[in-house]
Amino acid sequence: MMLGKILVANRGEIAVRVMRACREMSIPCVAVYSEADRDALFVKYADEAFCIGPPPARASYLNIAKVIEVAKGCGAGAIHPGYGFLAENPEFARVCEKEGIKFIGPSSRVLALMGDKVAARREMRKAGVPVVPGADECITEFGPARDVAREIGYPVIIKPSGGGGGIGMTVVTREEELAGALKSSQAVATNTFGICDVYIEKYLPDPRHIEFQLLGDSKGNGIHLGERECSIQRRHQKLVEESPSPAVTASMRAEMGEIAAGAARFVGYEGAGTMEFLFSEGKFYFLEVNARVQVEHPVTEMVTGVDIVKEQIRIASGLPLGLRQEEVRMNGWALECRINAEDPLNEFAPSPGRIREYRPPGGPGVRVDDGVYVRYSIPPFYDPMISKVIVWGRDRMEAVSRMRRALYEYVILGIKNNLAFHRALMENPRFVKGELDTGFIERETGLLQETKRTMDEEAWLGKGWSSSSGDLKRIAAVSAVAALIRR
């Protein structure tokens, strides 16, 4: 039987995304929110909404007891954790299990296993997955660190075992730097993740980041929905994602997809998840499993037609997967740009604040997942993502052209954002050719100059324009003239 009422323990665009699935499935949805999110779109969208505390995440979105109390109080039988916050917290899943509330995601056992990256590496090796050469144990002392690094050869990368978001990762090119890097990585790990455990891997020079979308159900089925490429990153954080990957052939997809899906079956994986790989010199190396729905899941939805959030809800309801591996078809090409409230010209520093004008793009093949609206103030306490623009095309070039068109239509005024940066990226000849790797943005310094040029033009054109009028025609005219000048 399908789940009754779902509490969404998250905020922003992903909370709206999950509730959209609930609405289509006629399942009532409940929002929990912090005092900073009273006016947020997801709070308005929900059937019921409860304030759970002050702005800092620790006091609200990460407050397990409070979230559980609200779920019980309003009769929600299940909790969807979204991504981030409590999504991969085994303790939270355990409390849900104990309280008889269905956690929409893998079991606390699988979460604990995958959350410990070193344990996950060991487990995946057992399941026959190729892993990045490196230590199979956490490293605390300099001696063992030096031995591992000598064995695999420099450069190496030190990574927090409980980490995420690229935080605390340090690349070491020479033995003389190792001791200092080990200390600093351990310090960051302790401060950010509460545990000092770090491990060492071979640092692959400018690999591609390629990941497989997985689905597993409670009946032991496990399938993959093909790959996504997420090589366009800054500071090891993804900015643009696509599916399929320009580097993956049908036979590679079949082989790696089966290895990934086989590993999901091996660990008894229930729900949606992602197996991340680095791809270097024609070889795949396991990086980690993200045991949740990911920011970039829509590109997979666009090419496969599978609603991943609905599948999560079906699986959590005890139903078998909605499709078999041989029914998965990848059709066309999808691209996603993450639109953030940040300043590309100031090292992408977050730039929260009030949105004066807002007009998302539309038309054929365009999807916008957002959590904002005109005159909404983006609070400074959380991730500065405004939205995701996802486009579909019959092939990669059509998807790129569509993304250019969608970005051109998109109007966000009042806060700094990275629209101009994405526009520059979509014109970059190497990007257009699909020559991607994780060092791309750092190397293509011309992107920032191009971004600055666009931003200057638009600032000049916008001068004297009364933003409070809300006259969308004039906004469109401003961006149209800007586009003409650019030509």
Q: How far is the CB of 232 from ligand ADP (least distance, A)?
A: 10
Q: How far is the CB of 283 from ligand ADP (least distance, A)?
A: 12
Q: How far is the CB of 111 from ligand ADP (least distance, A)?
A: 15
Based on CB atoms, which residue is closest to ligand ADP, 4 or 166?
166
Q: Is 23 a catalytic residue?
A: no
Q: How far is the CB of 405 from ligand ADP (least distance, A)?
A: 29
Q: How far is the CB of 104 from ligand ADP (least distance, A)?
A: 21
C-alpha span between 210 and 245 (Å, rounded): 7
Based on CB atoms, which residue is closest to ligand ADP, 166 or 446?
166
Q: For binding to ligand ADP (CB under 6 A), which residues are involved?
A: 132, 157, 163-166, 201-204, 207, 209, 233, 236, 276, 278, 287-288, 438
Based on CB atoms, which residue is closest to ligand ADP, 79 or 200?
200
Which one, of 6, 4, 8, 17, lies nearest residue 336 by Cα? 17
Based on CB atoms, which residue is closest to ligand ADP, 90 or 163?
163
87 burial via Cβ count (<10 Å: 0-12, 13-18, 19+): buried
* Tokens encoding 233: 């990153």
Give residue number: closest CB to ligand ADP: 438
Task: Give the burial string for 30-50 (b: 16+ CB within 10 Å, else e).
Answer: bbbbbebbeebbbbebbeebb
Which one, of 384, 336, 307, lies nearest residue 18 by Cα? 307
Q: Which helix (H) or strand (E) holds 149?
A: helix 142-152
Q: How far is the CB of 24 from ligand ADP (least distance, A)?
A: 31
- Integer-rounded Cα Rg, in Å, for the chain is 22
Query: Using the 8-state DSSP alphabet, how is residue 306 labeled?
Result: -
Q: How many CA atoms lie within 13 A of 17 on its CB side?
A: 27
Q: Identify whether the C-beta of residue 387 lies closer than 8 Å to the C-beta of residue 369.
A: yes
Based on CB atoms, which residue is closest to ligand ADP, 209 or 422?
209
Based on CB atoms, which residue is closest to ligand ADP, 182 or 278?
278
* Tokens encoding 350: 């977050």
Alpha helices in 233-296 (DSSP H): 250-267
Name 487's Cβ contacts closer than 8 Å, sequence gap at least 6: none
C-alpha span between 302 and 311 (Å, rounded): 15
Could you say which of 208, 228, 253, 292 is catalytic?
292
* Tokens encoding 17: 């995304």
Active site residue ranges = 292
